Chain A
């Protein structure tokens, strides 16, 4: 199944959950915000969310430095 993660095409198994993807992309999921098809997905909703073909995921990092 093909999805887009941070602008790059990515293949994932069917039934893959958003939380599984986040775990592989970002070791600490406490420092990110996740958009799925432009909508913010709160952290408590990420675990049960099953990804679909063509989904666009943006994993945004908290960048606190200045």
Chain B
């Protein structure tokens, strides 16, 4: 049994746009620049254009992309993404998704801001020390884009609360910093049928993959169980989760818009020392604890 509306196909079609005046002209043709856009909307005799009048300038660079345009931007404005972990990976992911005009961003983190976080967790500033990370993150994202709804969960994800929380979102970003949470997210997303982006970083290294549960290789097709002797965390270099978390935001947006090729059935690895990206092909593991009985 999965949550409603989790199928990617469901998002491929423009959903209910009632209450928003539809464009008569394709945005990609009509919007060479935000200045022109605003002037065009001021012309007497033209039909009022609520969406573009309100959002045209903020999202002008998205609107100029044929793959997004007005239709895609509206779709982002009706989409909901849960980011679990507001640290090194979650910071860039949350910033880019808020900037992109995602309707609702869920932020889950039970930690408070510590001084050693600030080397990489760019949602949090020095005056935030001791604050809940979710509250600190919410402040920054609201300043960046007041249109975005932020839902905060200053708690840990558990197998008990996962289903009810995940059901409120279209896509999940695993930006956690421990194996237990990553396994739990993989399990919960599989159970709820929620697509997710996995990522992890270590020293100068990062990796990420996107999972459509039941359809593509999942985290546990590769990493069956947590390691018996988890390594004492070293690093990472602060900008490494910046690179990987940004890719997670890209994947969320591509999924929501149904554009491009998702990072499915492959693990992208990033070695910052050699400055090399590699793709490792993956396939569903017939013995996977999650996928085998799917």
A interface, CB within 8 angstroms of B: 6-7, 28, 30-31, 33, 35, 38, 40, 42, 58, 60-66
Contacts and interface: CB of A to CB of B under 8 A. Distances in A.
B211 interface: no
A38 B281 contact: yes
Interface string B174-197: 111111001000000000000000
B267 A60 contact: yes
Q: For the complex of A and B, list the 9 residue pairs with the smallest distance between their C-beta atoms, beginning with the closest.
A: A63-B200, A66-B177, A63-B202, A31-B227, A65-B201, A66-B89, A64-B179, A30-B228, A58-B280
Interface residues of B, number: 42
Given A35-B222, A64-B233, A66-B175, 13 more contacts: A30-B227, A31-B227, A31-B229, A33-B223, A35-B280, A38-B281, A40-B224, A60-B267, A63-B201, A65-B202, A66-B88, A66-B89, A66-B199
29 contacts: A7-B278, A28-B229, A28-B231, A30-B229, A31-B230, A33-B222, A33-B224, A35-B280, A38-B281, A38-B283, A40-B221, A58-B280, A63-B202, A63-B205, A63-B206, A63-B207, A64-B178, A64-B182, A64-B202, A65-B200, A65-B233, A65-B236, A66-B85, A66-B88, A66-B89, A66-B90, A66-B174, A66-B175, A66-B241
B145 interface: no
Interface of chain B, main secondary structure: loop
Contacts of B221: 40
